[in-house]
Amino acid sequence: MIIGEYRVITKEDRARQKAIYAAHVAKLADAEARQLVAEHFRRRMEIFEKYDPYRDTFPTGLDGGSPDENRELREETKRFDKAWSIYAEKKKNKKVTL
């Protein structure tokens, strides 16, 4: 739904995003990778849902995210990237040693 110049995030939007995340996780064959990605997506959804109540209170909208929300998302992305690089390196080493 669009109100003014910003888009209101609905519960249906969040449910749709969770379904998309679940589909991405289901595509991963490795259990360790599935767990790592599922945890990352769960944390992202927690951050989004934490700031959802504030989205409707700002007249210009909060679709771009508040500075605090963006900071938390960046921190989560850094945490995931670090964990994923360790996993990717292990996966790379497994392929080399047949």
pLDDT score recorded for residue 27: 93
Structure tokens at 23: 């589909």
The total domain count for the chain is 1
Q: State pLDDT tens for residues 36-57.
A: 999 999 999 999 888 877 766 6
Domain residues for 37?
2-96
Q: Which of residues 58 and 37 earns the better pLDDT score?
A: 37
Q: Tell me: the pLDDT tens digits for 73-93?
A: 999 999 999 999 988 888 787
- pLDDT at 64 (0 to 100): 60
DSSP state of 95: H
The 3-state DSSP class for residue 6 equals strand
Write the CB contacts of 2 (distance below 8 Å, at least 6 apart in sequence): 8
At residue 97, does pLDDT exceed 70? no
